[in-house]
Amino acid sequence: MVYKKRLDGRKMNETREIEAKAGVIKKADGSAYFKIGKTWAYAAVYGPRELYPRFLQNSNKGIVRFSYTMMPFSGMGERVRPGPNRRSKEISMVSQKALNSVVDLVDFPNTVVDVVVELPQTDAGSRCAGICAASIALADAGVPMKDMVAAVAAGVVDNTVCLDLSYEEEHYPEFTKEKLDSEHVADIPVACIPSTGEITLLQMDGVMNKSQLIDAVNLAKEKCKEIAEIQRNAIHEKYKITTKGE
Amino acid sequence: MTDENKEENKEENKDKEIKSDSKLLVKNKDVVVPGQILAEGFDFLPSYGTYRKDDKILANKLGLVTMEGKVIKTIPMAGRYLPKRNDVIIGRVTDIGMNAWRLDINSAYTAMLSSREVGGDRGYSSYPKKGSLSKTFHVGDYIFCKIVKVNSQNLTDVTTNDRGLRKLQGGRVLYVNTHKVPRIIGKKGSMVNMIKQATDCKMMVGQNGIVWIQCDPKHEATAVEAIRKIENESHIPGLTNRVKEFLEKQTEKKLDIKEDDEEIRGK
Amino acid sequence: MDEDAQENMIKLLSENLRQDKRGFEDFRDMTIELGVIATAEGSARVKVGETELIAGVKLKIDKPYSDTADEGILMVNTELTPLSNPNFESGPPSIKSIEISRVIDRGLREGQAMDVKKLCIEAGEKVWMINVDVCPVNHNGNLIDIGAIAALAALHDAKFPEVDKEGKIDYKKKTSNKLPLKEDPLPVTVIKIGDYFLVDPTENEEAVMDARITFNFRKDGNLCAIQKGEDGPLTVDDIKKMTEIAEKTMKKNRVIFEKAIK
| Residue A242 pLDDT grade (very low, low, confident, very high; cuts 50, 70, 90) | low
| B6-57 pLDDT tens trace | 555 555 555 455 555 789 999 998 999 999 999 999 999 999 999 999 999 9
Q: B15 or A213: which carries more pLDDT confidence?
A: A213
Residue A151 and residue C61: Cα distance in Å, rounded? Answer: 37
| Residue B87 pLDDT grade (very low, low, confident, very high; cuts 50, 70, 90) | very high
What pLDDT shows up at residue C26? 96
Residue C214 and residue C227: Cα distance in Å, rounded? Answer: 5
Residue B181: strand, helix, or coil: helix
Q: Which segments of chain C have a pLDDT < 50? A: none
CB within 8 Å: A71 and C56: yes
A25: nearest CB among C37, C57, C138: C138
Given CA atoms B170, B175, B179, B180 in this order, what sign does their dihedral have? negative
* Residues pairing with C187 in the sheet: C216
Residue B225 and residue B245: Cα distance in Å, rounded? Answer: 13
Contact status of A169 with chain C (Cβ, < 8 Å): no
For chain A, the average pLDDT equals 92
What pLDDT shows up at residue A1? 45
* Residues pairing with C190 in the sheet: C199, C213
The mean-pLDDT minimum among A27-36, B57-66, B154-163, C183-192 falls in B154-163
Count other Cβ atoms within 10 Å, centred on residue C237.
8
Phi first, then psi: what are they for B25, rounded to 5°? -100, -5
Name all chains with 3 or more CB-CB pairs below 8 Å to chain B: A, C
* Residues pairing with C188 in the sheet: C215
Given CA atoms C155, C161, C165, C166 in this order, what sign does their dihedral have? negative
What pLDDT shows up at residue B267? 33
What pLDDT shows up at residue B261? 47
Closest CA to B8 of B29, B33, B30, B25: B25
Residue C198 and residue C25: Cα distance in Å, rounded? Answer: 6
Residue C99 and residue C229: Cα distance in Å, rounded? Answer: 9
What pLDDT shows up at residue B258? 60
Contact in structure between B208 and B178 (CB atoms under 8 Å): yes
What pLDDT shows up at residue A245? 41
A142: nearest CB among B35, B78, B242: B78
Closest CA to C35 of C49, C53, C56: C56
Residue B80 and residue B108: Cα distance in Å, rounded? Answer: 6
Phi first, then psi: what are they for C81, rounded to 5°? -110, 165
pTM of the predicted protein model? 0.92
Phi first, then psi: what are they for A198, rounded to 5°? -80, 145
B33: nearest CB among A102, A235, A246: A235
Residue C249: strand, helix, or coil: helix
Asked if the model's pLDDT at residue B121 lies above 60, the reply is no
Spell out which residues of chain A touch residue C137, defining contact as CB-CB under 8 Å: 24-25, 42
What pLDDT shows up at residue B94? 93
Residue C120 and residue B123: Cα distance in Å, rounded? Answer: 73
Spell out which residues of chain B touch residue A194, defining contact as CB-CB under 8 Å: 35
**Interface ipTM > 0.90:** yes
In A, residues 84-113, which contact B (CB 8 Å cutoff)? 102, 104, 107-111
Contact in structure between C145 and C152 (CB atoms under 8 Å): no
What pLDDT shows up at residue A6? 85
Residue A44 and residue C137: Cα distance in Å, rounded? Answer: 10
Task: State the number of CA atoms in the 13 A half-sphere of C52 facing the CB.
Answer: 11
Closest CA to C253 of C145, C112, C155, C170: C145
Count other Cβ atoms within 10 Å, centred on residue B187.
15
For chain A, give the percent of residues with pLDDT over 70. Answer: 96
> Mind giving me the DSSP string for C98-124?
HHHHHHHHHHHHTTTSB-GGGGEEETT
| A108-161 pLDDT tens trace | 999 999 999 999 999 999 999 999 999 999 999 999 999 999 999 999 998 899
Helical (H) or strand (E) element with C172: strand C169-178
| A78-111 pLDDT tens trace | 999 998 999 999 999 999 999 999 999 998 999 9
Provide the strand spans (E) within A71-173.
111-121, 150-157, 160-163
Helical (H) or strand (E) element with B8: helix B2-12
Residue B264 and residue B9: Cα distance in Å, rounded? Answer: 24
